[in-house]
Amino acid sequence: MVEKNRKILTCIVETIILCGKQNIALRGHTEESSNFKALLSFKAKDNSVLRQHLEEGDPRSKYLSPLIQNELVTICGEVISSEIVEACNKAGAFSLIADEASDASTMEQMSLCLRFVQDGTNMIREDFVGFAETESTTGESLANAFLENLRNMGVIVENMKGQGYDGASNMSGKTKGVQARVKTIIPESVYTHYKAHCLNLAIVHASKEAYPRNMMNIVQTIAFAFDYSAKRLLSFQSNLENDQVSREQMEKRKKLQTLCETRWAARADALYTFLSSFR
């Protein structure tokens, strides 16, 4: 019986992990039409033990309810984060990368990442270890929350040699910011402004000049013109099929890409696509 239950639970956990890896929602419009149950039923076609459990098992102990799904997701997350924390502690030194933002329910949420060198190798790891909620966004509140959550995860915070945040005053402030508060507790934790964020800010400011601003507006207008018209898009694809050079340069892309409003570094790909198809 123990062996049978382990096989059934293994199939359930593997299905949940598959949904997580593929970024597939567990639930659907109804519980019976959920992705989780559809994948589990498909898996049961070649697994007699699982099939018997789904068809004849006690409804009170099937381990398929949304509550059980959430518990298994939480357990999987704890196993993954504990492995990351163990590797981080073995490294002997790490940097904290963190940021805060409002989620869909307007709750302030912190994302925590650890950056360290894998013990015994030269591989740099940068791993996400979890979210944490906070009621305040002041430098003192966030700094205490960062350190408290790291300690609760088992991270040896005294090994922190660096900390990376964006340039907001509550994060980078010299006296009351998160970096200053953390540095009073861990003096060796050197603060570094996100390099990618600095690049993003530089591009934003450079694009305020007349020539790049006008160019971006024209590219965006043309992309919208093709994106919102089926006839124009069909004509674009037909001409692309007859142009071997442009088709190869666009690397199998079938349409122009609109420019991202926030991630300016991501606009490079959209501009490359536009330039490749421009005749």
> 126 Cβ partners below 8 Å, 6+ apart?
97, 113, 114, 115
Quick check: helix, strand or coil at residue 235? helix
8 Å CB contact between 165 and 178: yes
Return d(Cα 139, Cα 125) in angstroms, integer. 27
Retrieve residue 50's tokens. 């699982």
**Tell me, what's the pLDDT at 95?**
94
Written as tens digits, the pLDDT of the chain (279 aa) is: 899 999 999 999 999 999 999 999 998 877 778 899 999 999 999 899 999 998 888 888 888 888 999 999 999 989 999 999 999 999 999 999 988 777 666 677 888 999 999 988 889 999 999 888 777 778 888 888 889 999 999 999 999 999 998 888 888 888 888 889 999 999 999 998 878 777 777 877 787 888 888 888 888 888 888 888 888 888 877 777 777 666 666 666 777 878 877 676 667 778 888 887 776
Separation of alpha carbons 255 and 155, rounded Å: 47
14 close to 39: Cβ distance less than 8 angstroms: no
Domain with CATH 3.30.420 in the chain: 84-193
Token readout for 20 is: 């997580």
Q: What is the CATH number of domain 84-193?
A: 3.30.420
Tell the residue number behind the tokens 């190798």, with chain if given: 121
